[in-house]
Amino acid sequence: MLKDLRNIGIIAHIDAGKTTTTERILYYTGLTHKMGETHKGESVMDFLPYEKERGITVASAATRCIWKDTAINIIDTPGHVDFTAEVERSLRILDGVAVIFCAKGGVEPQSETVWRQADRYATPRIAYINKMDAVGADFFRVVGQIETRLSAAPLILTLPVFEGDDFTGVIDLITLKYYTFGGKLGNEIQEFDIPDEQQAEVDKWRLNLVEKLAQENEELLELYYDNKPLPADLLLATIRACTLQNLLVPVICGSSYRNIGVQILLDAIVNYLPSPLDVKSATAMNSDTGEEFEIEPEADKDLAALIFKIVSDRHVGKLAFARIYAGTLKAGSYVLNSTKGKKERIGRLVKMHANHREEVEEVKAGDIVAIIGLKDVGTGDTLCSENNPIWLESINFPEPVIQIAIEPKTQSDQHKLSEALARIAAEDPTFKISYNKETGQTLIAGMGELHLEIVSERLAKEFGIDFNIGQPQVAYKETITRSAEHTTRYVKQTGGKGQFAHVVLRLEPAEGFEFVNKIVGGVIPREYIPAVEAGVKQALEEGVIKGYPVVNVKATLLDGSYHEVDSSELAFKNAGMLAARECLKMAGPQLLEPIMKLEITSPEEFTGNIINNISNRRGKLESMEMENSTQVIKGCVPLAELFGYSTVLRSLTQGRAGFSMEFSHYEQRPAAS
């Protein structure tokens, strides 16, 4: 039943313990019989060779388990900023998320990024403060950061218990019991009364919990004012309602590595995160009429499914991961890919457990499945019934910010390289391939140095290709700073039918791209207008400064004329392209460069050196604050100035500082730099 299904993601900053937590979840739900450790390369969810070597998650992995009669589809996502697209696509199709925070690191840069991504989709979430056993762990500091840095309303449900410096268990503020997790693997849960020395703290936070919940539930408010017992099921129902509306974020704590508190996290997932019935229905558009409507998650309706991830598998070819929003999908049936306008046959349906597959005959509304056998399918495509063609909203991905040139060592590898790059690009929407006509080089672009490093490793090991690779370069863009107009007459007479097109075009700065048609009186026939727009778009693919893509332009077609015999779509496309190129030259073209958000943690004595270095790199300091005797420095620095920064920072701080960075925005590059 749909009410007993949870589609959830595990999201966090790198190294907060996502994969370790997922491994424990799989063990306690009986899906595995051994806990794999990430740092030993043994975890079930990090099954790719390059994940095992580095001990990090690169690609999101899906699995399914059962806890207390509730089926849970879990997607374990990467924490590194270079793989933020994996989080984006997972959040697009998930109903709820468990956000993991390190009790020592707190709300780190990528914690903020994934939280904002969840905000965009209004995804209900619970917070799990992990690594309570670490030196420097501070539960209440992290709760405070969730409130101040993430603008959330945390609701503490469990408190940590320490004996000396040892983290021994948790106190549940709903049941008012102290739980320890004994046995070799933490599966012997023991219940005790609250220790006397903890009672005052428990009373304080229990009151805080009840007061926050009473504000949202009148029945609870009356019981509270009348000093009557508060039923646990009423507290749970109120917490669930507040979580689903994003009014409160339940906060629990534990140590996944030490096997403490993971079962309470599982209870929280089941008790507080939504089923497919609890979330806002997906919105679709009728392909024929353009009418928007909401899809009810019912198995007997017409099919509506969204492809959110493509994976190339050596054994079965292309795996397409899909979220079924409505209807029933059966193996061997035919569906319409409305995005591509093509009919496709469903080969096989499999439920994924990391890299293991369990074949099923059909899946119904609310579920997540991998499909084998689809030929022409991409991330963000909609699958639907042929008799009811619809479009689901696709997924938006960030643009790449870094690129390198790549070439095969031998001519025989040229075709293999092109094929391999195309396969990787089909899987990863933030990986782009382009061809530089001037240098004859193939350029690959991604979200950061690690991203392209992983791609290079895959090309060598997975596809067996020998290649040379250039130095990383910044993926600049170009824009215009003022308005410009140009009249272009495109005339070619080569015997027989000629080519004629006349356009008057204006380009001006704008947000994004916009094409405006101001033709009146039919001086250019309607059927030629899209050709002019296509020509303008083609011209914007290569700017006039250094050939980078041009962004933030409004193009207005003002006037023109045509010839009854010699005009054609091709002529108007070429005229639009030539007019746009001339306008670009006159419109004050300017380079745009990617700016990165930088966060550095360092002992206080090195602060001066770090700040000087940031300003030398054309950076702007945004804030400085002390946390646990460590200075946290935040700023924005152009990506061009950050290659090799880890080495520089190590030498500035005797290797005692760390940093993380993520893409922030594009801004105009100063002419002198």
The structure's pTM equals: 0.74
Whole-number average pLDDT of the chain: 86
Q: How confident is the model at residue 37 (pLDDT cuts 50, 70, 90)?
A: low
Contacts for 19 with CB less than 8 Å, ≥ 6 apart: 38, 43, 45, 46, 57, 76
Asked whether the beta carbons of 478 and 509 are under 8 A apart, the reply is: no
Tokens representing 130 are 């992990």
**pLDDT cut 70: percent of the chain above it:** 92
Closest CA to 447 of 11, 1, 84: 84
3-state secondary structure of 419: helix
Q: What's the confidence (pLDDT) of residue 35?
A: 55
Q: What's the confidence (pLDDT) of residue 52?
A: 45
Q: How far apart are CA 209 and CA 157, in angstroms?
A: 8
Asked whether the beta carbons of 232 and 175 are under 8 A apart, the reply is: yes
Mean pLDDT value of segment 328-340: 90
Q: What is the DSSP letter of 106?
A: B
CA angle, 553 as apex, 552 and 554 as ends, to 5°? 130
Q: List the beta bridge partners of residue 592.
A: 477, 668
* Coarse DSSP helix, strand, coil percentages of the chain, rounded to the nearest 5 percent: 30, 35, 35
Contacts for 590 with CB less than 8 Å, ≥ 6 apart: 478, 479, 480, 481, 545, 668, 669
Q: What's the confidence (pLDDT) of residue 318?
A: 79
In 493-645, which ranges are E strands? 499-509, 513-517, 553-561, 589-603, 620-627, 630-638
Asked whether the beta carbons of 501 and 490 are under 8 A apart, the reply is: yes
Q: How confident is the model at residue 286 (pLDDT cuts 50, 70, 90)?
A: confident
Asked whether the beta carbons of 143 and 129 are under 8 A apart, the reply is: yes
Closest CA to 502 of 510, 512, 492, 511: 492
Residue 171 exposed, middle or buried by CB count within 10 Å (0-12, 13-18, 19+)? buried
**With 70 as the cut, is the pLDDT of residue 53 above it?**
no
**pLDDT single digits (tens) 130-146:** 999 998 899 999 999 99
Q: What's the confidence (pLDDT) of residue 57?
A: 44
**With 90 as the cut, is the pLDDT of residue 124 above it?**
yes
**With 60 as the cut, is the pLDDT of residue 187 above it?**
yes
Q: How confident is the model at residue 228 (pLDDT cuts 50, 70, 90)?
A: confident
Tokens representing 656 are 């005692």
Q: How far apart are CA 172 and CA 158, in angstroms?
A: 5
* Max intra-chain CA distance, the chain: 100
Q: List the beta bridge partners of residue 625.
A: 632
Burial 356-382 (b: 16+ CB within 10 A, else e): ebeeeebbbbbbbbbbbbbeebbbbbb
**With 50 as the cut, is the pLDDT of residue 245 above it?**
yes
Rg (CA), the chain: 28
3-state secondary structure of 80: coil
**pLDDT single digits (tens) 505-549:** 999 999 889 999 999 888 999 999 999 999 999 999 999 998 889
Closest CA to 85 of 367, 422, 431, 443: 431
User: Angle at which helices 607-616 and 645-652 pack, to 10 degrees?
Assistant: 150
Other residues' Cβ atoms within 10 Å of the Cβ of residue 565: 9
Closest CA to 276 of 324, 328, 308, 329: 324
Q: What's the confidence (pLDDT) of residue 665?
A: 87
Tokens representing 352 are 């994924």
Burial 445-472 (b: 16+ CB within 10 A, else e): bbbbbbbbbbbbbbbeebbebebeeeeb
Please provide the DSSP assignment of 238-306 as one string. Answer: HHHHHHHTTS-EEEEE-BTTTTBSHHHHHHHHHHHSPPTTTSPPEEEEETTT--EEEEP--TTS--EEE
